[in-house]
Amino acid sequence: MTVRPKLELESGESTLQVRRVSVTERISDIFTVDVLARSSDVDLDIAAIVGKGAAMGAEAELGTIAWSGVCNHMEQIKPANESTGRSSYLLRIVPSMWLLTQRRGHRIFQHLSTPDIVKQILGEYSIEPKLVISETHPKHEYRVQYGETDFDFVARLLEEAGITFTFDAQVSGGSAESLLTLCDTPQHAASVGPIDYFDTPNDGRITGFFITDVRLAHGVRPGTATYRDFDFRKPRLALRDSSEFPLAEGEKVEDPYEHYVYAPGISLIEVDGADDLQAVADDKSIARHRQEENKRRAEIRAEALRYGKRKVNYRTNHPELTAAAIFSIDNHPRSQLAADKTLMVIESTMHITELEWTVLGTAVFAEVPYRPEIRTPKPRVAGVQTAIVVGPPGQEIYTDEYGRVRVRFHWDRKGAFDDNATCWLRVSQAWAGTGFGSMLVPRVGHEVIVDFFDGDPDQPLVVGRLFNETTRVPRKLPDHKTQSIWRSASSPQTDGYFNEIMLEDNAGKELYFVQAQRDLLTLTRHDHTERTAEDRTAVVGEARVAAVGWSDSLQVG
């Protein structure tokens, strides 16, 4: 077989002659095309090629195939030698999606589904994906890209949602791009058809496509995935769901192998309505924990864990067996690999020279629901952070029915200083009981300490407060370092208007001071005893009224 490789570069460089090509593809990963080429130009302008559009194609009697993207790496591996007069170069072509690995940051996404978030990020790179989405993907109230590259964030969200991404190889050149496809049911794609199996394909009988070196492999995988969540609105409800993968009779031994994960917030999604709507808490959206979402995520996890339970490795000359391609094997003696058993390619490596192309691949059975392997770790916040409490313009105190607040993180470059900055954050109090405890609501503009449930950046909560240069301490320090103070501030804020309890602990000057900015009301439900060891002075600015229900006595001396 004669193969005619063709390299096209956006830079217009045309002196490179392709000698060898290696293409690696994998479901939910970036393909790489490594090209070994020669040129008569020993001073080839590498900088003009790297970062620009590039396409690598191959044509033969059996068909054509091409990959398009950008050249992200090029090097001269050998200068011109005396025998050939040509220099050797190595190029790597990757899809434009690879550029997502070059940007890392922090930002917040609210009220968007996973496909919507992914489309937004890809759009920033002028990438328009093809969506093959058959399932319903709910909107998330709050998702954070926390110190991740754009690629890792996108890959993680897609893995969590059970959505694969692949690149459709196509015949195109220059800056044209291999089409990015997002799909949640890749096993349902159309088949390229059965491929004839040959044990010894090099005996001269074969003129078309063949598949050989077929190896069926079985492995051990967990049989169950379980997620557990907690809903503060329904603290006594156990949000737990398991998904047991349907196991064949010979696989029942894997039933006890469970992946149990406590994942706060995993079942929290935005819904259209609820029977416990609240005016302020639900002012932006209605987000609730749902048992069915917990179950859906457990099912996705179970299907991802079963990835690779049964694999088929092979060698072929069929160029269309790229990642996510569906096919079957004809004439294989093993019944499990009969022509009616469809397979899906999960990874492949194609080697191309001027004489042949060879594809080494791995496939799984398409009858089994496929989910991408969960391999992108979610970042964890290593410690606490501080943030500023925010709210709508003109409001000094902004809270909901649960005493929650919204904040703006210092790392958030895109969020505004208003009530759209984050989701609601629960606020830790000194005491929280059933209708009793303490309640101190952080006010707009105040600096608070934020921690995260299990280090999850999607699950923030306020655990403390801090003074700073703008929100100063109530008494000058260190001048009044012996004073312990609990001081509030009238709202709307008016300078010098406050309620206060102050304890002065300076030896010999101890003082317990109470100030009511307007009215002071005390209620004693039984006896009230006051004892003054020495003098007592009462000053009434206007009227004094005393009402005694039974008797009044005064004893002097």
Task: Tell me what pLDDT residue 309 has.
Answer: 87
Q: In the CATH scheme, what is the code of domain 4-97? A: 2.30.110.50
Name residue 218's beta-bridge partners.
Answer: 310
For residues 219-244, give the mean pLDDT. 84
Give residue limits of the domains in the chain: 4-97, 100-164, 190-220+308-348+355-365, 224-305, 380-472, 475-522
CA distance 532 to 553: 17
CATH topology of domain 380-472: OB fold (Dihydrolipoamide Acetyltransferase, E2P) (2.40.50)
Mean pLDDT of 132-145: 96
At 175 the pLDDT is: 45
pLDDT of 109 strictly over 60: yes
Largest CA distance in the chain: 128
Q: In whole angstroms, what is the distance from residue 471 CA to residue 474 CA?
A: 9
- Averaged pLDDT, 413-435: 94
CB 303 within 8 A of CB 369: yes
pLDDT, residue 172, reads 41
pLDDT score of 64 = 87
Q: What is the mean pLDDT of residues 112-117?
A: 98
Specify the pLDDT at position 176: 55
Report the amino acid identity of residue 298.
Answer: A
Mean pLDDT across 454-462: 96
Please write the tens of the pLDDT for every residue from 167-203: 987 644 444 578 999 999 999 988 998 999 998 877 5
The pLDDT tens digits for 119-128 are 999 999 999 9
State percent of the chain over pLDDT 90: 79
Structure tokens at 125: 């790179």
Range 136-153 burial, b when 16+ CB lie within 10 A, else e = ebbbbbbbbbbebebbbb
pLDDT for residue 224: 87
Closest CA to 166 of 6, 366, 348: 348
* DSSP conformation letters of 21-62: EEEEEETTS--EEEEEEEES-TT--STTTTTSEEEEEEEETT
37 vs 352: CA distance, rounded Å: 12
Q: Report whether pLDDT(240) > 90.
A: no
**pLDDT value of residue 119:** 98
Cα–Cα distance for residue pair 239/468, rounded to 1 Å: 40
- Going by the DSSP 8-state scheme, the letter that residue 405 receives in this structure is B
pLDDT class of 85 with cuts at 50, 70, 90: confident
Q: Which tokens sit at 163?
A: 């959505």
Task: Report the pLDDT averaged over residues 339-358.
Answer: 93
**pLDDT higher than 80, residue 207:** no
Dist CA 92 CA 36 (whole Å): 9
To the nearest whole percent, how much of the chain has pLDDT over 70?
Answer: 96
Angstrom CA distances, 25 to 161, 335, 339, stand at 21, 28, 25
What pLDDT was estimated at residue 171?
44
pLDDT at residue 183 in the model:
96
Residue 367 has pLDDT above 60, yes or no: yes
Region 421-437: mean pLDDT is 95
Superfamily of chain region 100-164: Baseplate protein-like domains (3.55.50.10)
* Strand-pair partners of 274: none
Query: From start to end of 128-223, where are the E strands?
Result: 130-132, 139-140, 143-149, 164-168, 179-183, 191-196, 211-218
> Which pLDDT value is given to residue 3?
87
Q: Name 12's Cβ contacts closer than 8 Å, sequence gap at least 6.
A: none
Distance, CA of 28 to CA of 347 (rounded, Å): 10
Do the Cβ atoms of 97 and 38 come closer than 8 Å?
no
pLDDT confidence band for 519 (50 / 70 / 90): very high
User: Quick one: pLDDT band at residue 415, thresholds 50, 70, 90?
Assistant: confident
The pLDDT of residue 461: 97
Contact 47, 34 (CB under 8 A): no
CA 250 – CA 192 distance, rounded (Å): 31
What pLDDT shows up at residue 510?
94
pLDDT at 206: 67
Position 38 pLDDT exceeds 50: yes
pLDDT value at position 199?
87
Q: What pairing do the DSSP bridges indicate for beta strands 87-94 and 63-78?
A: antiparallel
* pLDDT of 249 above 60: no
The mean of the pLDDT values for the chain is 92
Residue pLDDT, tens place only, 42-64: 999 999 999 999 999 998 888 88
Beta bridge partners of 26: 347
